[in-house]
Structure 1
Amino acid sequence: MNWSAALPTFVITLREGVEAALVVGIVLAYLKRVGRSQLHLWVWAGVGVGIATSAMVGVGLSQLVQGLGSASQQYGPVVEPLLEGLFSVLAIALLTWMLVWMTQQSRFLKSQVEGAVGKSLQRQTRQWGIFILIWVAVLREGFEAVLFITAKLQEGVVPALGAIAGVSAAAVIGIALFRLGIRIDIRQFFYGMGILLLLIVAGLVVTALGLFDTALSTLAHLDRKSEALCFFYERFSKQPACILGPMVWNTSKILPADRFPGILFSAFFGYTDTLYVVQFIAYLGFLLAAGSLYFRSLGKRPESGRLVHPRVE
């Protein structure tokens, strides 16, 4: 079993889980401060339902991919990688957007969450307002991880195990912050996680293009009318891919992607021992574009480098 496939989902769910834990901790601390500790139960209900909903979405997407892939015996080998490629694109877009958006909004997170809680407390259905606030926060972070795991379906259940470990680690960090009062430099944590997440998502760009190439290449072999889709076959004589152009390198004998340490590079950074021109250009292009947006979004320093909240009993 390839346990290295659990590492990217562990990193992503750890980061997204800590974001959700911060929202939960801020809400719990605020409710205690204003004498509304009896609403804590609704907070934990929102957390539980949010995690359950994310898991249900993940199972549903997995069943959709497998169902559509097996619906047609002839085109099943085309549909499954095509769908996984589409989910990869969605995961790339959502993870990148959330990375940049959350970095920009992090300095205002506490005031925004407390403002939303304050408005909910003014309504008669205050408990449902708290529940929905937490449920949406957890589901938002969970949906990103679910899309990433769905895009990695070909690697089996291992990515899901990595996600469970990431959520557990995020819960431990949340407890350390809000119940034990441990000081953690949360700004540096998100800075490091952000850089690692950029590299992981850039690797997903390579994987997505490989999935599209596999789908179209298989389609071209199954249906001669679709042979024109593989336009690089006619333009390059030496090892071209269907839509990815000529090969940049083949390091399968020097650093195979299915053996250590290549297997770790593959898990974290999308390393492949057979890289093609289009993948290489897309990888660098994504890093330059998304990286510049991310580092620009860091902008001003947040209100406090260390996030410290009162203990939540």
Structure 2
Amino acid sequence: MLANFLIGLREGLEAALVVSILLAYLVKSDRRKLVGRVWVGVAVAIVISLGFGAALTFGPRGLTFAAQEGIGGSLSIIAVGFVTWMIFWMARAARGMAGGLRDQVDRAAETNSWSLAVVALLAVGREGLETALFLWAATEAAARDTGATTNPLLGAALGIVVAIVLGYLMYRGAIKINLTRFFTWTGAFLIIVAAGVLAYGIHDLQEAGFLPGLNTLAFDISRIIPPSSWYGTLLKGIFNFSPATTVLEATAWVCYFVPTMTIFLTRVRARTHSQPRPATPVPASTGRTRP
């Protein structure tokens, strides 16, 4: 539930930031009449995201077991790709997001004001589609192993609600969040979560018969961490950890996690060192010369 809460919080905060920046800039630039068009774009994006989530949930139910597993595994891997791209993009673009959006608003207002609806639709819709895909993968994993389908959705919903509140407070100027630090910490955590989703997707493809090695285990610690125990359920719900993991699952997890986390931390460290430091004040000259 914690992992899905952070997914909802992070994706929801990205969308809330976009909307709050658009609205604040329109108000400050005396373009209040265009505010409604931003909300039109947001509403359309929400409807599309919900429709996409419904299609993922109810679409594959009439298929065979192998087809369901194949689709589930493939979509899980696609979700990992989208989330990984989102993590790196947001870590890079957080500092300059406001300036880029203001430029888009100016161009849209000068050409076709309905373009603002498209800007909001694309920005919010992208986050919504990524969230729907990733949450679907997490919900399928939880339903398969614990039978619970509401906990992932409840966690994500709580995260989105918190994100909306934070977005509103930032719009009102009540709080300020260090976005670079926020997206760095959540990005590192979500890389761990994404590695678990990737391993689960590989397992689905093995069960569907598309990949070999279903019975070749790298380790089986089910006696130490029973899947039905509270800590087994917690590890599964947050990290998609399976006590009985195949060699191919473990290989996929390591091959994704190690290079991805290394590149992410390296880029974060490089951006931190490249930030300009405040100049050291130079004492004023007294007009005297040294002997």
Name which of structure 1's ranges 78-87 and 101-110 shifts more when overlaid on structure 2: 101-110
Name 2:170's counterpart in structure 1: 177
Deviates more, 1:193-202 or 1:182-191: 182-191
Q: 1:94: how far off? A: 0.8
Letter in 1 for 2:68: E
Cα distance in structure 1, aligned partners of 2:135 and 2:95: 29
Change (3 A) 1:291 1:186: same
Provide the rounded CA distance (Å) in 2 between the counterparts of 1:258 and 1:90.
28
Identity of aligned residues (%): 29
Q: TM-score, normalised by structure 2?
A: 0.85
Structure with max Cα Rg: 2
Which residue matches 1:307?
A: none
Structure 1 residue aligned with 2:24: 29
Aligned: 1:144 with 2:115: no
Cα distance between partner residues in 1 of 2:251 and 2:100? 39
Partner of 2:200: 207
User: Is 2:255 aligned against 1:269?
Assistant: no
Residue type of the alignment partner of 1:271: F
1:188 and 2:175 matched: no
Show the 5 A alignment for 1:1-313.
6-67=1-62, 69=63, 76-123=64-111, 125-126=112-113, 128-151=114-137, 152-153=139-140, 155=143, 156-216=149-209, 230=212, 232=213, 241-242=214-215, 245=216, 247-298=217-268, 299-301=270-272
Unaligned runs of 5+ residues in structure 2 are 144-148, 277-291
d(CA) in 2 for partners of 1:254, 1:303: 46
- What SS is found at the alignment partner of 1:271? coil
User: 150-159 vs 38-47, which deviates more?
Assistant: 150-159
Moved >6 Å (runs of 4+): none
- The residue type equivalent to 1:147 in the other structure is L
Count of residues in correspondence between the two structures:
267
SS in 2 for 1:107: coil
User: How far apart in 2 are the matches of 1:187 and 1:258?
Assistant: 38
Q: Deviations over 1:268-290 (max 9, x none)?
A: 21211101222122111111121
Amino acid at match of 1:153: E
Residue 114 of structure 1 and its aligned partner are, at CA, apart by 0.7
Does structure 1 retain, via aligned residues, the 8 Å contact 2:95–2:180? no
Q: Distance in 1 between matches of 2:226 and 2:251?
A: 21
User: Secondary structure in 2 aligned to 1:98?
Assistant: helix
In angstroms, what is the RMSD of aligned CA positions?
A: 2.1
